[in-house]
Amino acid sequence: MIIFKAVKELLQCMQKILIVDDDTSFGMMVSGYLKKKGLETVLAGSFLKAKDHLEHESFDLVLTDHRLPDGTGLDVLDKSKSVAADIPVILITAYSDIRVAVDAIKKGAFEYITKPVNAEELLHVVTKALNNHQKPTSLISEYITGEGEEALRMEEHIRLVAPTEVAVLIQGESGTGKEYVARRIHELSSHSSGPFVAVDCGALTSEIASSELFGHVKGSFTGAVDNKTGHFESVGKGTIFLDEVGNLSYEVQMKLLRAIQERRARRLGSNTEFSIDARIITATNDDLRTSALEGTFREDLYHRLNEFQILVPPLRARRGDLLKYANYFLDKAAGEFGKEIKGFSNPVLKIFESYEWPGNIRELRNVVRRSVLLTRGDFIEMESIPPELSENSGVTGKELNLSNARNATEKQLIEEALLKTRHNKSETARLLGMDRKTLYNKMQKLKIDY
């Protein structure tokens, strides 16, 4: 199969994995399985033991359970990123902890796997993480143009702003595809011949952020044993994408503001400046405007970054495109795993339509990929999707009126947005990714009080 060929090519040189799990039997089972595939493994049964290994050994990947006796998988993630920011971390979690998994992705985790763990899925994700670690610039854009009103408006804005040098701030929940929007802008811009470098600011501690972004010279601080070229210098005339920019410390925000204003910067410890020729695109799932007003984010930097804003709506607000995304992920996963699957059964489609998808497109992709692994027939059936999906979808054994379900969900979203904005229609429309006219039409249709 394709996956085992990839593993064979990858493991020509030994890769070392840290497995963190307090369930000794499960940890030994995973360790033994990966060792049979030619990987070197080290097993730690607690956060403190994992911390000790990370401080004294080098690893190519960290695989950690979320629930540990003296901490969590997020603690392991934070420690791993502070030691070596580029080492991929995979979180194993119960499906009931999906929001934790989403938060882990936001903090810089490479991927998450839900229990019970499927061996082939585990191998696939580990192989992909190791390959990406070896080839960090090999990512290829998989942007999918939606057909709904919000998606078409977003595509129009992307095409409008891409040929310009206007600074773009992309806003949206975690997992909505902000990086793909940034790549789309890059591909349609005059910078497309250069590299696209994505930087997860949420994974950068204040101690290493300046070095990662701007580089340093040997001896500039303890541990600086060699010269380092930062992302702003290495990207050249390409595009640099700063994801979760709101997580940068105030000190780094000042350096970033100066770099944007002067289009020049210097490495830590150096007196020599280098020019910045790259296109700068930023993204956040926070409300930077509020952060700027509250003083936790520099207001002058916010206005520099927010010359043009693109709002990426959550998946629950663009259900008309859900099946298109699901089919795309189905075809891709079927190709990866060497299977021929025609589609989804009607009961599965009903679950998909009614589920809220808190993890957005990323969660949909993971659910579909996992389902493809478990499916043996021509269609993905109910037994192949996580049971928690149906439990949290509100679907019963009775026939579901999809139109009514959509309307009820949409009405709830609009009412929640109105409460959040204190019935400011313009702000509500912006929050939901639609214009005021569309909002008024929907409020009238759904009988929402003005």
pLDDT value, residue 138: 35
What gap in Å lies between CA 212 and CA 310, rounded to an integer? 26
CB 121: neighbour CB atoms within 10 A? 19
pLDDT value, residue 142: 61
Would you list the DSSP string of 83-96? H-TTS-EEEEE-GG
Mean pLDDT score of the chain = 83
Average pLDDT on 150-177 reads 92
What gap in Å lies between CA 149 and CA 143, rounded to an integer? 17
165 has a pLDDT exceeding 50: yes
Q: Are strands 239-243 and 67-68 parallel, antiparallel or unpaired?
A: unpaired
What gap in Å lies between CA 52 and CA 343, rounded to an integer? 47
Q: Are strands 111-114 and 168-172 parallel, antiparallel or unpaired?
A: unpaired
274 three-state secondary structure: strand
What gap in Å lies between CA 264 and CA 271, rounded to an integer? 12
- Better-predicted residue by pLDDT, 166 or 440: 166
Rounded percentage of the chain residues whose pLDDT exceeds 70:
88
pLDDT value, residue 1: 39
- Better-predicted residue by pLDDT, 163 or 86: 163
What gap in Å lies between CA 431 and CA 434, rounded to an integer? 8
Ranges 140-149, 239-248, 288-297, 309-318: which has the least confidence? 140-149
- Better-predicted residue by pLDDT, 243 or 140: 243
406 has a pLDDT exceeding 70: no
Instruction: Name every residue whose Cβ is closer than 8 Å to that of residue 83 and which is 6 or more positions away in sequence.
Output: 54, 55
What gap in Å lies between CA 305 and CA 300, rounded to an integer? 9
Average pLDDT on 129-141 reads 55
What gap in Å lies between CA 346 and CA 266, rounded to an integer? 58
Query: Per-residue confidence at 137, pLDDT binned at 50, 70, 90?
Result: very low
Q: Nearest Cα to 125, choosing from 93, 78, 84?
A: 93
Residue type for position 211: S
pLDDT value, residue 407: 58
pLDDT value, residue 8: 43
Contact 147, 320 (CB under 8 A): yes
What gap in Å lies between CA 31 and CA 17, rounded to an integer? 9
Distances in Å between the Cα of 73 and the Cα atoms of 33, 107, 324, 375 are: 21, 11, 33, 29
pLDDT value, residue 338: 87
What gap in Å lies between CA 37 and CA 446, rounded to an integer? 56
- pLDDT tens per residue across span 13-43: 468 899 999 988 888 999 988 988 888 899 9
Instruction: Name every residue whose Cβ is closer than 8 Å to that of residue 5 and which is 6 or more positions away in sequence.
Output: none
- Better-predicted residue by pLDDT, 124 or 371: 371
Cα-atom radius of gyration of the chain, to the nearest Å? 23
Where do the DSSP E strands lie in 153-272?
A: 168-172, 196-200, 215-216, 228-229, 239-243, 264-266
205 has a pLDDT exceeding 80: no
Q: Which region, left, alpha or beta, applies to residue 10 given φ > 0 means left and ψ of -120 to 50 means alpha?
A: alpha
In the beta sheet, which residues pair with residue 178? none
Q: Nearest Cα to 170, choosing from 9, 308, 324, 13?
A: 308
pLDDT value, residue 263: 94
What gap in Å lies between CA 344 and CA 73, rounded to an integer? 33
- pLDDT tens per residue across span 208-241: 888 889 988 888 877 777 788 889 988 899 999 9
Contact 343, 356 (CB under 8 A): no
- Better-predicted residue by pLDDT, 362 or 12: 362
Residue type for position 446: L
